[in-house]
Structure 1
């Protein structure tokens, strides 16, 4: 047996060595082929620019750098989004060692507002036919500027001195020379935001030798261009029907990178898709205004039910989780804080109506504040709470409030169930004959009784009052004014 094992080992060892060597060579060949294979990483953003979009884009750039990708293609269709997220994406794009081509697609897509800035910042600005860009005017979020901002915006008071004709002509010439017909903003805060946006988009356009004057008009006047018009006015670089057409057109093109100029070699690139993963989808869902609004409502009501029923745990746990998720979402949404304050005030008044009934005054005020606050909670047109959702929540809250009011009104009409008030008027049975003091059975208990008339055993008596452990009674048949218990 030992001899047989020795023979088998002597014959198998050479074959095992050959097999391992073959696997090693195959692995090395595969690794070399993978290293020599040139690819382009394709990402997709379809929707508003948010922190979830920024996180997804920056992770894509990191992956492209790790894989030594030759190009990153961002397939974009957006109505706009948050300024902070857009600037984070642009900063990462400008610092990237891998060139980025922003491709507005498919047909019918748009790169509005924040999308225009991303297109201007890209190393290659491309659009599909039947797409457009523009409307890059910044919109003030959060319910207005800082206190006193309106004071800065006030025009200087008119002077008592009347300017001469020469001075008036000089001022008119200065205005024409400086281009004061451009949109400047009505308040000091608007002017600050607008001028900052103009300087930002002009710097991006000039970096890649694009039409900076049109980019400024897109910010000041919210103008738009179609794909063909943008190409004709040197706003974009390419109009491509698909990604393969895009790669063919930009092959050999020179782009401006952070470290200098680079010539693109895109003719034989293979496409490597990097679609949004579950993390990006989850963050996008939570940051949806309707979802955030619903989470806030569920969270507040969960905490209310927990406080009304201490120890229930389930509503309190669910409410705390939903409220924390809502607060996270509100940090990444364009919140109008006046609207949020009105929503919280409305919920507080509704709770006050339930705990301190005011016959509808607090409740009606709470519903009005809740609805008005919900309407203005998200003051961005592309990130607004759905009106049907607001109406549905308001109807549910109104129904709950009506039920509470009717319930309390019904309880006020019911006779007392506990305490001295409940005993007065009840019927007792005499346990013995007595004239002034004796004992009666009341609610299954033995009580001391006091009366001004003679009482027979087993006679029905009406309780007229209570003094400690003694009840004052009177015969039912002579108590004509008493009501039946």
Structure 2
């Protein structure tokens, strides 16, 4: 009987504990939609922000990540980093060109094609994805197919760009965007025209040609229309459940804003020059501290900015060589030859420093010329001051004693002691000198002065 009673009590206690645990255990957190914004040029800062934003959406188990796009394009390297993050994301990504009047041009078109679901707001457009050559001018788009049939009855193919470099860039871009279109089941032929002929479409035309999946007026409307759609995430088909999701805006943080400022190649170049000259001034005046500390900070920040940009090592080497040559001109005057060579080398290196096809990321020619002229001017100014100081009379050290008239303190034979510059010096000279005589210092050998009798001194009076 006692055993049965104990068993009933144990069962009752277990049931109470289970009920309490079930009551204390929180239910599943409501899922949300993380909203990221690609506003402006695609660059290292926007790539870093979007990659970290997609990682945050994955960590918090978000239902979807919405990428709101308004961009004229940007760097190819940053665009590919963003696309790699989208393709690897376990969270479905909805690319949404918004608000009204926005665009997804150039790099934005590739990102739109890479996303799991593509949407646009009314009065928006996409396209014009032709690569830009390194010279800053667009690669010549291929002409549309000629209507005149060939002898075999087929239309002639569009002519390819004449320049081999342009042809290589265009063909690579075509293959890339067609692979993205095949992955998402979108219009690959129009995507090719966007690259070869810089074609563009409005939101309605893009929907009619199967370039995008839907048109939505705003984010709530997008969540409503995307609900129930099937997208392919990795190797799995996923049904989107977006109706009623809480929208969680993720704004760029201080790191993204700072990266966006310092990755301006013009500012990076200025930071590098401040860093180089700050260290030079510290080496010239050891212990000054401020030039060395400021220079080291600017140099490290500038190098970090350049590491995030498509840097050309030849340009960096030429710019560094130019700075070194202009500094060497200070210590080894060469009548301006090293300084002029350094200025030319610096200008060429600065113009080649960033390998980019975006005018927004090109080094400003007036800035390069200004920095070169300022550096060259400072070099010649320091050289002129050094030459002037070389011609100035010596006012300190043993050399300043040469030619001075001094008094003999004591003298025995051919050596004795003289008073020079308020100090007692050992001296060597002719015989017959005595205390009080005036002598002229001819040279110095270590701590011994070589003197001669002063011919202009009045004759010494002999004691009576």
Q: Does 2:359 align with 1:366? A: no
Whether 1:469 and 2:449 are equivalent positions in the alignment is: yes
Q: 1:190, CA displacement in angstroms?
A: 4.7
Cα separation, 2, equivalents of 1:88 and 1:422: 67
Residue deviations 1:314-351, cap 9 Å, x none?
Answer: 65455445434433332321223333222111101111
Q: Which consecutive unaligned segments of at least 5 residues does structure 1 have?
A: 1-20, 144-171, 479-485
Structure 2 residues not aligned, in runs of 5+ = 1-18, 137-149, 459-464
> Corresponding residue for 1:53?
46
CA distance in 2, matches of 1:87, 1:174: 41
How does 1:386-405 map onto structure 2 within 5 Å?
A: 386-387=364-365, 389-390=367-368, 393-394=371-372, 396-405=374-383
Report Cα offsets for 1:411-459 as digits up to 9, x if no partner.
122123456643332222355899998764332334536469x989756
Cα distance change, pair 412–236 in 1 and its aligned pair in 2 (3 A): same
Higher helix content, 1 or 2: 1
Provide the C-alpha distance between the structure 2 equivalents of 1:400 and 1:464, rounded to a whole number of angstroms: 39
The residue number in structure 2 matching 1:448 is 427
Measured against aligned partners, the alpha-carbon deviations of 1:342-370 in whole angstroms (never above 9, x if no partner) come to 21111011110122122433223323332
**Aligned residue in 1 for 2:315:** 339
CA distance in structure 2 between the partners assigned to 1:178 and 1:331 by the alignment: 46
What's the Cα RMSD here? 3.9
Do 1:50 and 1:81's aligned partners in 2 also have CA atoms closer than 8 Å? Answer: yes
Q: 1:66 to 1:346 in 2, by over 3 A?
A: closer
Is 1:207 aligned with 2:183?
Answer: yes
**1:58 and 1:413, CA in 2 relative to 1: closer, same or farther beyond 3 A?**
closer
Structure 1 residues 175 and 392: alpha-carbon distance in aligned structure 2, compared to 1, 3 A threshold: farther
- 1:250-277 Cα deviation digits (max 9, x unpaired): 3444434434544434332221122223
- Counterpart for residue 154 of structure 1: none
- Selected match of 1:40 from 25, 33, 37: 33
The size of the alignment, in residue pairs, is 423
Contact 2:33 2:64 in 1 (8 A): yes
Output the CA distance in 2 between the equivalents of 1:174 and 1:427: 110
- 130, 153, 159: which is aligned to 1:181? 159
Cα 1:296–1:108 change in 2 (3 A) is: farther
Tell whether 2:269 aligns with 1:280. no
How far apart, CA to CA, are the structure 2 residues paired with 1:190 and 1:175?
30
The question of whether the paired residues in 2 share the 8 Å contact of 1:350 and 1:367 is answered with yes
1:137 aligns with 2:130: yes
Q: Say if 2:325 is the partner of 1:349.
A: yes
Residues 142 and 336 in structure 1, CA contact (< 8 A), matched pair in contact too: no
- Structure 1 residue 81 and structure 2 residue 60: aligned? no
CA distance in 2, matches of 1:327, 1:437: 64
Q: 1:376/1:228 Cα in 2 relative to 1: closer, same or farther (>3 Å)?
A: farther
What's the TM-score, normalizing by structure 1? 0.73
8 A contact 2:441–2:449 mirrored in 1: no
Give the stretch that moved more between structures: 415-424 or 350-359.
415-424
- Residue aligned with 2:454, SS: strand
Q: State the 1:73 CA deviation.
A: 0.7
Q: What is the TM-score when the length of structure 2 is the normalising length?
A: 0.76
- How far apart in 1 are the matches of 2:352 and 2:197? 25
Matched, 1:383 2:361: yes
Equivalent positions of 1:316-331 (< 5 A) are 316=292, 318-331=294-307
What's the CA shift string for 1:359-412, capped at 9, x where partnerless? 433223323332343234224312123456545544542443243022112112
* 2: CA distance, partners of 1:411 / 1:474: 30
**Equivalent residue number for residue 280 of structure 2:** 304
